[in-house]
Amino acid sequence: MQAYLVGGAVRDSLLGYPVYDRDWVVVGATPEQMLQQGFRPVGKDFPVFIHPDSGEEYALARTERKSGKGYTGFLYHASPDVTLEEDLIRRDLTINAMAMADDGTIIDPYNGQRDLQSRCLRHVSPAFSEDPLRVLRIARFLARYAPMGFHIAPETLTLMQQLAQSDELQHLSTERVWQEFQRALGESAPEQFLRTLMQTDALAVLFPELLPAAQDSNTLSQINLASDPRVRFALLLRRSFAATPAEQRSQKIKLFCDQRRAPNAYRDLALQFCHHADQLCQFNQLDAAQRLGLVKNLDLLRRSEHLSLLLQGCAVICNNNLSVQQQLPLLLQALQQIDPKQLMAQGFKGKALGKAIDQAQLEICQQQIDGESV
């Protein structure tokens, strides 16, 4: 039996990138032999094993045959006589279909190295069209590699368009779609992910609500400027739901996030940002009560970790407008100095204590405004 490093690890090491995840393919072995060597099986009837020491994944070389809709509709055939080339041909892109032997030799039957050099994302075989997840994966790889000059081969783009226009995309699970989307939001050029989904018509099927943002070049450059994926998501939703009447916006955003199974951290920031971005960007024009209302609505006194994310979003939409970036953290700091115990020591309790805190907070907001006008 022979093990080869495959997929992303080979691609990234040839690109000179650090390698975090290493996947291996084992040729010429049976499941029983793997178990005898101490490997642990990943699942029942699935030819993937975990190395007892490194914890890395070792998959038996396999072929696959489409048996149903979606990316799960495949029948696998793993046996000791499946060759490395047969295993590599079922992979999505030529740059992901290379293997490396123990001695560092690259096995590259589908010209992945040529495509790495010409910065081309190209499918390996016509079987590419069998798995709709690949539309999302290739869009995500473009979001990662476009800044290095990569493009999608025209013939691959055509297959992606055909896939997106068939009914295959509807068979992807919500979790898998969100997973790819979230990963794309963390890549260096997430704008490319949306552009590619638009270009292939996949966006209209998977995220029709995001069409207004994806058609707006200003929003697309904004999401590239923000660095946190949650802020990028919030910027997209802000633009996408801009035309929704204010009283329906929360409900629509919540529905969108729930249907896509977006984690709460994404949903909450997007909701806050969509509602308060305008006020945040005009912070220096707000009076004391409005400033305090904003801090309370955003729940910043309890959840101050949101502050830096909100400010990141504001910096992007108001072109690094420094006023809110300086004023809001200062105000929050001052408000946090209010000590209810001191007020209690002065005899305030119950409702009167609440009122005294409110009053002290308002005064701090007013002091900030007075300080600004000096």
Identified binder of ligand ATP from the candidate list 23, 64, 86, 216, rule CB under 6 A: 23
Binding ligand ATP (rule: CB under 6 A), the pick from 58, 61, 82, 91 is 91
Residues 136-195 that bind ligand ATP (CB under 6 A): 137
Amino acid at 296: K
41 vs 70, beta carbon nearer ligand ATP: 70
Which residue, 23 or 216, has its beta carbon nearer to ligand ATP?
Answer: 23
| Residues listed for the chain | 374
Query: Which residues make Cβ contacts (< 8 Å) with residue 218, sequence separation at least 6?
Result: none
Residues binding ligand ATP: number (CB under 6 A):
13
Least distance between ligand ATP and beta carbon 187 (Å): 9
Among 7, 47, 112, 229, binds ligand ATP (CB under 6 A): 7
Residues 98-137 as x/- pattern, contact with ligand ATP by CB under 6 A: ---------------------------------x-xx--x
Among 96, 200, 219, 327, binds ligand ATP (CB under 6 A): 96
Query: Site residues for ligand ATP, window 31-90 (CB under 6 A)?
Result: 71
User: Least Å distance between CB 68 and ligand ATP?
Assistant: 15
Alpha-carbon span 39 to 34, nearest angstrom: 6
Whose Cβ is closer to ligand ATP: residue 180's or residue 191's? 180
Q: Which residue is nearest to ligand ATP (CB)?
A: 8
- Cβ-based neighbour number of residue 64 at 10 Å: 17
> What one-character DSSP code corresponds to residue 346?
T
Other CB atoms closer than 10 Å to residue 277's CB: what's the count? Answer: 19
Phi-psi domain of 216 (left: phi exceeds 0; alpha: psi -120 through 50; beta: other): beta
Using CA atoms, how far apart are residues 195 and 5, in angstroms rounded to an integer?
32
Q: Give burial (CB, 10 Å; 0-12/13-18/19+) of 89.
A: middle
Contacts to ligand ATP from residues 288-327, by CB under 6 A: none
Q: In the complex, what is the shortest distance from the CB of residue 150 to ligand ATP, in angstroms, rounded to a whole number? A: 14
Evaluate whether 27 touches 61 at the Cβ level (below 8 Å).
Answer: yes
- Candidates 87, 92, 108, 168; binder of ligand ATP (CB under 6 A) is 92
Angle formed by the axes of helices 190-199 and 174-185, to 10°? 130
Q: Tell me the residue type at 152.
A: I
**What is the amino acid identity at position 256?**
F
Residues that bind ligand ATP (CB under 6 A): 7-8, 21, 23, 71, 91-92, 96-97, 131, 133-134, 137
